[in-house]
Amino acid sequence: MNSIRSMSRLFVAMMFVMGSVPGVSAQTMGSTLASFNILANTAVTLTGTVPLPLVLNRVGISPFTAFNPTNASAINLHQNDLTAVNGKAEGQALWISLAGAVGSNPDINLATNVLDPAYIVGGGITLIKSATDITETDDAVTFTGDATSILIFQPQTFISFTNFDILLAGGILPSNVYWQVPTSVDITNNDAAPRKTPGTFINNTGAQNITVVVSDGSLRIGRLVSLQGEVSVTKSAGTLDFDYPANGTGVFVPGCSDGLFYPSPATGATGTFSYCMESAGDVNIRVYNVIGDLAAKIEDTKAAGQHASTLDTARLAPGVYLYILERSYVGGNKSRSKVKKFVVKH
């Protein structure tokens, strides 16, 4: 009898994961997937700028391993390792759970392929469905609910946002927003206004891609998951931040990197140190030549988040340089990087 009960519980659990039980949770978000800013199937292409490179906390690719950064980096990069493979499996589970989700509130069925300016939703799941794509340009929409509200967007085809702002009011968490997109996702910010497109964007058809381009203003975006395609992010100007993957309440800087220097070799008049601060505090960067002489130093006070400090490389002799980055946070906590190096050529 115990064996029968155990098998029954196992069957119910399996059906729950597969999304066959009515009312299945829309939040089958495994902890590994939740830790990624970007997770792709074929490739991840990141393009940033000098002196402010594009730096992400965690990027994954599986089953392929193509990572293509230009003035960009990932603090934690997973190329078809166990973490990326597990994240991909959790992405598939998320897709199934979203497809099987049952709304707690009446569905919002779009009469056109654009959203209305404002919606009031209840607690629990609200499904926002479109019989075509969802295409928005120079627009904004506000959703008002509470911390228990879950929004699931389900276009028939693709999503295309240009200078579009999603505002969450009343306590809706960005981590409770999902965009289940069969084909491509294209998000562009090319004017001076600050905007947000929160939530998890996930697509799953063919080799369809997720593409984000910021050429002006600022954009804060959520998690990007392409189960069969590539994720491409370009920041040619302006600023681009990713929501904190765990709870959607801030920029993801739980453990800052040792700092990165661009470009190396430095051939121009300036080079740039890119680093993040876990909280407000002081940053101290000391640069040494290969015989241990202090060649330069940078001291500054920064707020929490991603930052850059420039170095006058024109006055440095050609050669190899070593640097150490120290952070002293308000409250007494300190961190010190490993010794790293860069090259100067004139």
Q: What is the signed CA dihedral for 254, 257, 259, 261, rounded to 10 degrees?
A: -120
Q: In the structure, what pLDDT confidence band is assigned to residue 331 with cuts at 50, 70 and 90?
A: low
Q: In the structure, what pLDDT confidence band is assigned to residue 73 with cuts at 50, 70 and 90?
A: confident
Look at residue 117 and tell me if it is in a domain: yes
Please give the pLDDT value at position 257: 61
Contacts of 338 (CB under 8 A, 6+ apart): 258, 324
- Verify that 296 and 201 share a domain, yes or no: no
Tokens of 174: 């960005």
- Verify that 197 and 312 share a domain, yes or no: no
In total, how many domains does the chain have? 2
Q: What is the CATH number of the domain that holds 264?
A: 2.60.40.2550
Q: In the structure, what pLDDT confidence band is assigned to residue 63 with cuts at 50, 70 and 90?
A: very high
For residue 333, the enclosing domain spans 260-344
Last residue of a domain, one of 210, 242, 274: 242
- Verify that 81 and 226 share a domain, yes or no: yes
Mean pLDDT of the chain: 85
- Verify that 194 and 334 share a domain, yes or no: no
Q: What is the pLDDT of residues 276-286, one digit of tens each?
A: 776 778 999 99
Asked whether residue 22 carries a pLDDT value surpassing 70, the answer given is: no
- Verify that 130 and 189 share a domain, yes or no: yes
Last residue of a domain, one of 186, 212, 242: 242
Q: In the structure, what pLDDT confidence band is assigned to residue 161 with cuts at 50, 70 and 90?
A: very high
Query: Between residues 333 and 292, which one has the greater pLDDT?
Result: 292
- Verify that 51 and 165 share a domain, yes or no: yes
Please give the pLDDT value at position 303: 80
- Verify that 140 and 97 share a domain, yes or no: yes
Q: In the structure, what pLDDT confidence band is assigned to residue 145 with cuts at 50, 70 and 90?
A: very high
- Verify that 154 and 223 share a domain, yes or no: yes
Tokens of 177: 């927003």
- Verify that 225 and 332 share a domain, yes or no: no
- Verify that 66 and 186 share a domain, yes or no: yes
Please give the pLDDT value at position 139: 93
Query: Between residues 135 and 333, which one has the greater pLDDT?
Result: 135
Asked whether residue 208 carries a pLDDT value surpassing 70, the answer given is: yes
Asked whether residue 248 carries a pLDDT value surpassing 50, the answer given is: no
Query: Between residues 195 and 249, which one has the greater pLDDT?
Result: 195
Look at residue 81 and tell me if it is in a domain: yes
- Verify that 214 and 268 share a domain, yes or no: no
- Verify that 60 and 202 share a domain, yes or no: yes
Asked whether residue 23 carries a pLDDT value surpassing 70, the answer given is: no
